[in-house]
Amino acid sequence: MKKTDFDSIKEKFDNSGVNAPDALHEDRIAGMLPEQPLQALPPKQNRKKVVAGVSAAAAFAVVTAGAITFTSLFHQPFSPKFVAGTASLRAFGSRDELTEEVKKVQNIRKRNSNNPKDWIFGGDVYEDNAEYNHFDVALPDTGSSSHNSTYVQATGVDEADCVKTTAAHIFYLHSNTIHIFSAEGKNAKEVATVEGTDENSLYDFYVSGDRLITLGVAYRDSGVYTEAVVYDISDVSAVKRTGGFSQSGDYLSSRMIGDTLYMVSNHYAGTELDLPQTGTAVSTADSATMDEIPYTDVFSVETPTGSNFLVVSRVDIKTDAQVTKSKAILGSGNIIYCNQENLYVTAYEFAPEVYSNLFKSFDGNYWDIYGGETATQIIKISLTDGIDFVASEKVHGMVNNQYALDEYNGKLRVATTSRDSEQNEINNLYVLDENLRQLGSVTGFAQNESIKAVRYINDTAYVITYEQTDPLFVIDVSDPSQPAIKGEVKISGFSTLLVPVDDNTLLGIGYHTTDITEGDAAMEMQDGVKIVTFDVSDKSDPKVLDTQIFENYYSAVQHDPKALLVNFERGDFTIPMSKQEWTLDGWKNTSEALNFRVENGKIKIIDRYVSEKFSNQDSNLQRCVHVGDNIYLLGTHYKEEYRYEDSVYNGYGEYRADIDSTPYK
């Protein structure tokens, strides 16, 4: 790829409205980069590579996001006071004891600050927005019949998003501004905006009744804070801020149950006295009242990740973001799963021998960090009576996203990808009890493949893995002590998202792949959207029912399930799709809303609405929603504006949010 191609990709990314986390800012990345270049992992023999169109910066961001979540195992814990009923959580007897513990962990980094590999321990951690790969069995609240709501993982637990709807309006976050559109079919237009500031970058938001709740990160001289700001939108022509709440650290994620918001952030303590705080959200002022979380509400995992604190707050939206409780734990997180009773937070860590290898003589090969076993540490937080840290435990391997976790009848199921003694990728599924003690597992399946999607339906787990084909594994978890693989079926390409259609049918959406050769190397190219249906009526004999392939197309649904529009009353699905192709007239962009349903296992296309507004080279289709009798498409355009100053022409342009619509057939 030529440099100009990267420049073009970077320009589109910069103007797309995607808010990259602060931990991936170029200055922070540069500070973590080693002086010697990264060396590629040697390809395994007889193994195809999957080639995808991603920029070098994005690829490094993925590596970095994984690297900065490591949990230090060097720390020798002080004599702990164990929290009653927990597996390995520790309480502190005084503030001095807490600060001394933070200081000990910080000294680990200081001792190794001159080591060339020390960069992997730096930084804060963000959720892989990556809330990617499957849907919960329970049907979510779909809002009123007049409009859709965000498809969520667990019933009754809302998730923040960049798009929300009401019966009359559509809210769309782009470029630190929430654009409010009237839902009037072809007459839809922007009627109001809610803007972030230079000090407060918006990440996502909720709409609940007549309240808009924004989530973002505020940058002040005193540090970095996650903020929730509440607005009254009963009259969109006069949106009013009514309150807000702030807590230390970078935004990790959030959930909302009824009128209660749960905020989760990662706070990096620069010194032992830099303990997490909470208070009133005032984005533009350092004088906001902030109070330190009492040491009695701060805990520690057995092997904390440096001096990172995971901060969790319970915020009452009815009272315009008055906090009811905040707690913290020494040890950062990267992925959360939440139902109405419990919140689970995961963090990655490596086995002791891997850490030992990191501090041996430096050979320039940073990929050595992946040469050993990994583990996922899970923290369980009860939400039934405020916020209570319940337990902490580890399982082998890494989870790919929040949908790898699911709680059923008090048991937590966790699917992971790890490595065996010969460094081959293998996959596992664990069942843990209410105290996160392991009840049973099935391990080591799908060698040299990794998990791409997971879906749990009652006592059955459906797991998609991928190397050269897309195997769907059916795992019976009815006996938590003896989960077992009952059947599997393979298909080319791979699904990244699984959706229940009925008791016997699964819908998969993901990537179509094509075999290509380059010299003596065999590779697979991701070159389209693939939709597939599976018959899972017989656990021991799952079957592929139907497939639809859209070559050269790509869709936001392939990496973000919230981009899938599901209408449960109509029983249909809508996804945004786009493609770029070279013609004699140059590059041509086509964007459309694909509306389909599944009937008797067959995929039936209802409508393919091609949007002229988003079918040009300088546009980006992101989402589809429905309000009333229309489907609305949301995305961005590059618009130029012209002005004259002192008779001198000045041209400038920017990507701007836009909307299109089509009748809902």
pLDDT of residue 221: 80
What single DSSP character describes residue 390?
A: E
Mean pLDDT rounded to a whole number for the chain: 79
pLDDT of residue 374: 78
pLDDT of residue 146: 85
Q: Residues 528-585: pLDDT tens digits?
A: 999 999 999 999 999 999 999 999 999 999 999 899 999 988 999 999 999 988 878 7
Distance CA 463, CA 232 (A): 43
Tokens at 388, concatenated: 């209570």
Distance CA 296, CA 395 (A): 28
Is the pLDDT at 129 greater than 60? The verdict is no
pLDDT of residue 521: 65
Distance CA 463, CA 446 (A): 10
Is the pLDDT at 214 greater than 80? The verdict is yes
Burial class (CB in 10 A: 0-12, 13-18, 19+), 535: middle
Distance CA 189, CA 191 (A): 6
Other C-beta atoms lying within 10 Å of the C-beta of residue 257: 18
E strands, 383-458, in order: 388-396, 405-408, 411-419, 425-432, 438-445, 450-457
Single-letter amino acid code for the residue at 599: E
Is the pLDDT at 586 greater than 80? The verdict is no
Is the pLDDT at 426 greater than 80? The verdict is yes
Is the pLDDT at 159 greater than 60? The verdict is yes
Q: Are 86 and 389 in contact (CB under 8 A)?
A: yes
Burial class (CB in 10 A: 0-12, 13-18, 19+), 399: buried
pLDDT of residue 297: 96
Identify the CA nearest to 216 among candidates 241, 194, 196, 242: 196
- What proportion of the chain, given as a percentage, has pLDDT over 90? 54
Tokens at 521, concatenated: 């190397």
- Helices and strands in the chain, H and E counts: 5, 41
pLDDT of residue 123: 30
What single DSSP character describes residue 79?
A: S
| Distant-in-sequence, close-in-space partners of 269: CB < 8 Å, separation ≥ 6 | 102, 106, 275, 276, 307, 308, 309
Is the pLDDT at 189 greater than 90? The verdict is yes
Q: How confident is the model at residue 118 (pLDDT cuts 50, 70, 90)?
A: very low
Buried residues in 117-155 as b, exposed as e (16+ CB within 10 A): bbbbbbbbbbbbbbbbbbbbeeebeebeeebbbbbbbbe
pLDDT of residue 222: 81
For the segment 7-19, the average pLDDT, to the nearest whole number, is 44
Distance CA 411, CA 69 (A): 26
For the segment 318-322, the average pLDDT, to the nearest whole number, is 79
What single DSSP character describes residue 483?
A: -
pLDDT of residue 293: 96
pLDDT of residue 347: 85
SS3 308: strand
Tokens at 183, concatenated: 């839902």
DSSP string, 337-348: EE-SSEEEEEEE
Q: How confident is the model at residue 523 (pLDDT cuts 50, 70, 90)?
A: low
Q: Are 233 and 210 in contact (CB under 8 A)?
A: yes
- Check residues 419 and 565 and name the one with the higher pLDDT: 565
Angle at 522 between CA 3 and CA 65, to 5 degrees: 55
| Distant-in-sequence, close-in-space partners of 279: CB < 8 Å, separation ≥ 6 | 245, 246, 247, 288, 289, 290, 291
Q: How confident is the model at residue 519 (pLDDT cuts 50, 70, 90)?
A: low
Which helix (H) or strand (E) segment holds residue 7: the answer is helix 3-14
Q: How confident is the model at residue 108 (pLDDT cuts 50, 70, 90)?
A: low
For the segment 402-419, the average pLDDT, to the nearest whole number, is 95
Q: What do you get for the CA distance between the two ends of the chain, in Å?
A: 42
Q: Are 621 and 633 in contact (CB under 8 A)?
A: yes
Q: Are 24 and 64 in contact (CB under 8 A)?
A: yes
Identify the CA nearest to 342 among candidates 294, 391, 305: 391
Least confidently predicted of 319-328, 563-572, 648-657: 648-657
Identify the CA nearest to 268 among candidates 311, 234, 233, 231: 311
Q: How confident is the model at residue 520 (pLDDT cuts 50, 70, 90)?
A: low
What single DSSP character describes residue 318?
A: T
- What proportion of the chain, given as a percentage, has pLDDT over 70? 72
Helix axis angle, 3-14 relative to 56-67, nearest 10°? 60
Tokens at 527, concatenated: 């070159």
For the segment 12-39, the average pLDDT, to the nearest whole number, is 38
Q: How confident is the model at residue 597 (pLDDT cuts 50, 70, 90)?
A: very high
pLDDT of residue 19: 44
